[in-house]
Structure 1
Amino acid sequence: MAPVDDTDKLDDVADKTNEKLDEHPWAEWLPKAGWLARGFVYAFMGWTVLLISFQKDSADEASSKGAVVALADQPYGRIVIGALAVGLVALVVWQALALALIRDTDAKSWFKRLSGAGTMVIYAGLAFTAMRAALGMSADNGGGIERLSKGLLSSTPGRIVVFVAGAIALGVAGYRAYKGWEHKFLKHLDLDGCDPRRRKLITRLGTVGWIGRAFVVGLVAVFSMWAAVTADPDNAVGFDQGLRKVSVTSWGFVLVALAGLALIGYGLFCVVSLKYRELRD
């Protein structure tokens, strides 16, 4: 339990943040823009996963080009990515505000802060990559995690770090799967008055989407942990390469294709549930 003065400080920060949001109603549009960008990111990511599932090249020969970089190569891709970058920045700003609105000091609240901070860092990195791609600058090809993991695997302490990080990611994946299966994501939505058919659609898309995200995160986590155990940097793979390794195995392409459809489902979930999201939950 945190000291009383720490709790008071958190309450003061939350109160001031709420006051600022009340003074500037336009700030409520930040998460809306961000969630639309988030939906697009996952839908496009799902599409690239579907393409991976139907590729016949080996995991070693396959390109590791990331989804954002691949989109930049398409007609009008830079314009789309520029809009995407703006939405992602809005999502990062709102995530920072959401962290400031958390008042409690129990374990659950600190987990929410840690999870939110991690999400903010991830989307900030993706926004940076999108901005560079939109400006025609050299962008990260999606292998940043892979390069970092391989660097850490060169030493025993580094391998411990990679294994622990993989274990945490695997735990996060398990929680996401549970949240999707048990429909826990619905508590962040205000569905009062929602049409029953639309509610059913939101529930189904959310269930599929959350479980699909869990599969992808868990897959990369397992590869990272195995690389730490075997001390083999070649086993440390990022998002694209991990899926490619699975897709070339017997029936693996089916799992990857299902994961792609699930990610597209999550992207649609972000869009159709936007109207019902509780922005200050």
Structure 2
Amino acid sequence: MNAQDGPIESGVEILARAGYAARGVVYLIVGFFAALAAFGRSEAKGTEGALAAVLGAPFGTALVWMLAIGLAGYAAWRLIQAVNDPDRHGTDAKGLVIRAGLLGSGLLNLALAFFALGLVSTWGSDGGGGDPTGGWLAAIPGAGFRWMFVWGAAAILAGTAAALIWKGATAGFEKYMRIPPDAAPWLRPLSRAGLIARGAVFLVLAGLAVRGGFAYDPADRPGLQDALKAVQGYTLGWLLLLAIGLGLAAFAAYSFAEALYRRIDPH
């Protein structure tokens, strides 16, 4: 932030950095429970399960409120990235695909923020914060678009997986960050491992969507928890789950690094 930044720019930067930090907290909890599940000490949890676990901790209600605000801020920043294109992805085919992905990320994180609010308020149909995207997706089969949704979702998930793995393998994230030279030697490999691990989870989700085929129920679609449980069922699944759990914890560290070092410019 510099002297020319106005209150709107400053507010957006605060929301964005709080959002990256909130995402880091959520994935740190997800990674922690995945590692415990690898040793049979707990059950793997998705992002929604992570928020529910926070609610049961001391001062859980206040913490969930903070995470809900942070996730809403992250969603707002993603939408700004998609519309204003501050990272200059452009309007060619590749740029539009990236911006569409940012838009989707914003909407999903907004839904997660509403889920968190549902845990600590009367929001949500049952007062318990049901997933708000379920109702939207439930209308798709009735409209006759089930096959389009299934294979379209699988393609998007596979594309997201490839993008994350490529971003981690090539350290493409560095051009959007100002990492201090003394932190780079340990933060770079940690961030790369985190992005690749998250990409692996999306790859499993794509496989689950394809395997479900026309029996797939959009209202009960596979999520992060389902992907982690699927990994646990593979040969040497406990070891793969442990690796992914540690990788998601590394992704949490990457998120915290973005909260500190990400270039934030709404324009």
Deviating beyond 3 angstroms after TM superposition, the runs of 4 or more aligned structure 1 residues are: 20-25, 62-65, 141-145, 151-157
Deviation at 1:23, TM superposition (A): 5.0
How far residue 138 of structure 1 moved from its aligned partner, in angstroms, is 0.7
When the two chains are superposed, the root-mean-square deviation of aligned CA atoms in Å is 3.2
Query: Which of the numbers 122, 128, 134 marks the counterpart of 1:138?
Result: 128
CA, structure 1 residues 223+153, in 2 after alignment: closer, same or farther (shift >3 Å)? farther
Alignment of structure 1 residues 105-184 onto 2, 5 Å: 105-135=91-121, 137-140=127-130, 144=134, 148=137, 157-184=145-172
Contact (CA 8 Å) 1:69, 1:139: kept in 2 or not? no
Residue 278 and residue 156 in structure 1: after superposition, are their counterparts in 2 closer, same or farther (change >3 A)? same
Q: Is the 8 A contact 2:82 2:99 kept in 1?
A: yes
Q: Which amino acid in structure 1 is aligned with residue 240 of structure 2?
A: L
C-alpha distance in structure 2 between counterparts of 1:272 and 1:84, whole Å? 17
Change in Cα spacing, 1:271 to 1:52, as seen in structure 2 (3 Å) is: same
Structure 1 match to 2:197: 212
Contact 2:82 2:100 (C-alpha < 8 Å) held by counterparts: no
- Contact 1:37-1:87 at 8 Å conserved across structures: yes
Report Cα offsets for 1:219-241 as digits up to 9, x if no partner: 11111111116x466x9632212
Task: Summarize the Cα distance change of 1:141–1:23 in structure 2 as closer, same or farther, 3 Å threshold.
Answer: closer
Residue 187 of structure 1, aligned match among 175, 183, 202 = 175
- Please identify the structure whose Cα radius of gyration is greater: 1
Report the CA distance between 1:25 and its aligned residue.
Answer: 4.5
In structure 1, C-alpha distance between the alignment counterparts of 2:21 and 2:61, rounded to whole Å? 17
Distance 1:154 1:95, change over 3 A: closer
- Aligned counterparts of 1:89 and 1:232: Cα–Cα separation in 2: 29
* Structure 2 unmatched ranges of 5 or more: none
Q: How many Å apart are 1:92 and its aligned residue?
A: 1.8
Counterpart check, 1:101 vs 2:84? yes
Q: What fraction of aligned residue pairs are identical, expressed as a percent?
A: 25
Structure 1's unaligned 5+ residue stretches are: 1-19
Partners of 1:246 and 1:80 in 2: CA distance: 30
- 8 Å contact 1:153–1:228 — kept in the other structure? no
Q: For the Cα contact (< 8 Å) 2:154–2:210, is it kept in 1?
A: yes
Which moves more between the two structures, 174-183 or 20-29? 20-29
Q: TM-score, normalised by structure 1?
A: 0.78
Matched residue of 2:51: which SS? Answer: helix
Shift of 1:154: 8.7
Aligned residues: 253
1:127 Cα deviation (Å)? 0.4
Structure 2 length-normalised TM: 0.81
